A = this chain, B = another copy of it.
Amino acid sequence: MKKLINDPNDVVTESLRGMALAHPELLDVDLEQHNIYRATPKQGKVALLSGGGSGHEPLHGGFVGAGMLDAACCGEVFTSPVPDQIMEATSKVDSGAGVLHIVKNYTGDVMNFEMAAELAADMSGTEVATVVVNDDVAVQDSLYTAGRRGVGGTLFVEKIAGAKAESGADLETVKNTAQKVIDNTRSFGMALTSCTVPAAGRPTFDLGDNEIELGIGIHGEPGRERSEMKSAHELALELVEPILEDLDFTGSPVVALLGGMGATPLHELYLMYGEVQQILEEKGVRVARSLVGNYVTSLDMAGCALSLLRADEEMLQLWDAPVHTPALNWEE
């Protein structure tokens, strides 16, 4: 294992320290609790809180800031944050309008966020609503999941619900917006290589020199099948088809995210995106907005994933709304 780390036990704390130093104007980082806060919170609005295991950077901490998350709770690598940690962040970001928890559908995360929500209600009277992201069409149940896994589409939920909260909507409305995004988002990923968890020190799984995993999870959980390596065009079909089989994406504007798994460079991601968009167009799907890059990753895994959102005009407007975070930053 060759990684830019010191002691494998310290990777989360030390990575958060670097993130804090790199973004002092955007982030306040609690290095004890492993919680990341928006440096300039906006009072009176619904607060958005997400989190999960580390190793998926920039998710979630890179999405903390104006127009997106108010806090991110970072667990150890591929491990849920703990209830006390989430409770503390929940209480801290509540400025009276309540808090939306955005949780990826993994058993540990769902359980810990639920406990934290109850604790926060008991301790400080914070009103918490929760949505669970389950966009991965690859498998029904998985290693750490009952039901579908939450993967790249989480970015859509955080961006669009974040813009809705920023606009002053109340907790129920923000929750409904988030749920609508989840209901209309589907994802599918693939791995060319395994990731290596620092504390394990060796690849999570083995892939042959000409072998790939289709439907990979973002923790290296098994997907649908092993396959031989294929061309970018054929791989794009492998990404697009299971998504379109699961939901009809024609007739609405679509937001597309072609995300790298951490070790795939932009050179390849752009090439892949060209194939994906061409196939979508041939199938009658109109891409209205797109994003290409490493956003929801799996440590040093090579590979990519496609997430599609069947949007409407309001979702597009919320997507376009200003955002100022380390990983997404734009004016309208």
Contact = CB atoms under 8 A, between A and B. Distances in A.
Interface of A: 2-6, 11, 14-22, 54-55, 57-58, 62, 192-193, 209-210, 212, 229, 231-233, 235, 258, 262-275, 277, 287, 290-292, 294, 297, 299-300, 302, 304, 329-331
A5 B269 CA distance: 9
Contacts of A274: 14-15, 17-21
Contacts of A232: 4-6, 14
Chain A binding surface SS class: mixed
A331 B25 CA distance: 14
Nearest to A190: B4
Contacts of A193: 2
Contacts of A297: 265-267
B273 A21 contact: yes
A111 to B, nearest CB: 25
Contact of A18 (B4, B209, B275, B331): B275
A324 to B, nearest CB: 9
A210 B267 CA distance: 27
Nearest to A298: B265
Contacts of A269: 4, 18
A299 B263 CA distance: 10
Contacts of A273: 18, 21-22
A266 B241 CA distance: 30
A207 B143 CA distance: 34
A212 B1 CA distance: 12
Contacts of A270: 15-16, 18-19, 22, 57
B57 A15 contact: no
B271 A4 contact: yes
B15 A267 contact: yes
Contact of A57 (B20, B262, B265): B265
A11 B267 contact: yes
A155 to B, nearest CB: 14
Given A2-B212, A193-B2, A264 B18 contact: no
B266 A2 contact: no
Contacts of A235: 4
A54 B271 CA distance: 13
